[in-house]
Amino acid sequence: MDFLTPETLGLLFAVGLLAGFVDSIAGGGGLLAIPALLAAGLPPAETLATGKLQSSFGALSATIKFVQRGEVNPRAMLPMIACTFVGAAAGATVVQMLNPSFMRDVIPILLIGIAVYLLLSPKAGDLDAHQRIGEHAFALSIGTGIGFYDGFFGPGTGTFFAIAFVSLLGHNFRRATAHTKVLNLTSNLAALLFFILGGHVVWIVGLLMGAGQYIGAQLGAHMVIRNGARIVRPMLVTASIAITVKLVWTDESNILRVAFASLLGWFV
């Protein structure tokens, strides 16, 4: 790893700090961390494994902050945590046998739907609302399902969890973000376990970026506690759009990219 100069490591620390800040508010920190790791010269497998390690520090940091401020009680979330862990472990297992590329067509459409929902529902998530399903049903369906998705593919996991907490359990955005971080940490650790067993983690990079993630997530969680929906809503919309653009732009066969190119063809 001679290419990991002090300057490169310093830049990766800074990226980790910024990614931790963004991720603790609305998710999407991987949009910063993963390209930075690839640009630093890490192979794809090591990039994904090290990315999970560093992002786990951010999720842990934000979780600690939210617990300290009384926004979330992990003990009350044990069924959700268990289901999310099982789902993420299953996803990390299945991804070794199947190609997740088909998800690149589906996920951007879902994320665009979330952005439109937030823009057209300006009051959603401002205050606690009516709970639509029980917490055990939420754990089995959402915890297991999104946990599996995170282990299998991953982009937008935090956004999906947050919207599920708002729309199904009636949480305001502050509480939804706090609960999301607990489940983000759970799914990260489940997937990370498989990467560690595979020997793909670059520890010096993961721990250094993890330190940046920890600091950034503390700052981001503080912003969520202080500002609630005022900061979470626009950040969720931004994260949804940014992840969509990233997935579509990097996949020439993506159905949205093909449709857009065809539409342009009519006018050119």
User: Does some domain include residue 125?
Assistant: yes
pTM summary value: 0.84
Residue listed under structure tokens 């609960």: 179
User: Does some domain include residue 2?
Assistant: no
User: Does some domain include residue 3?
Assistant: no
User: Does some domain include residue 1?
Assistant: no
Strands (E), 41-153: none
User: Does some domain include residue 188?
Assistant: yes
Total of domains in the chain = 1
User: Does some domain include residue 89?
Assistant: yes
User: Does some domain include residue 236?
Assistant: yes
Name the residue range of residue 187's domain. Answer: 8-267
Return the pLDDT at 153.
Answer: 79
Query: By the 8 A CB rule, do 191 and 150 touch?
Result: yes
**In whole angstroms, what is the distance from residue 261 CA to residue 265 CA?**
6
What contacts 156, CB < 8 A, 6 or more positions away?
A: 27, 28, 107, 110, 111, 239, 240, 243
| pLDDT tens figures, 250-268 | 776 666 666 666 766 676 5
| pLDDT tens figures, 124-166 | 655 567 889 999 999 999 999 999 988 887 878 888 999 999 9
Sign of the four-CA dihedral 220, 223, 225, 228: negative
User: Does some domain include residue 122?
Assistant: yes
**In whole angstroms, what is the distance from residue 124 CA to residue 239 CA?**
17
Return the pLDDT at 55.
Answer: 94
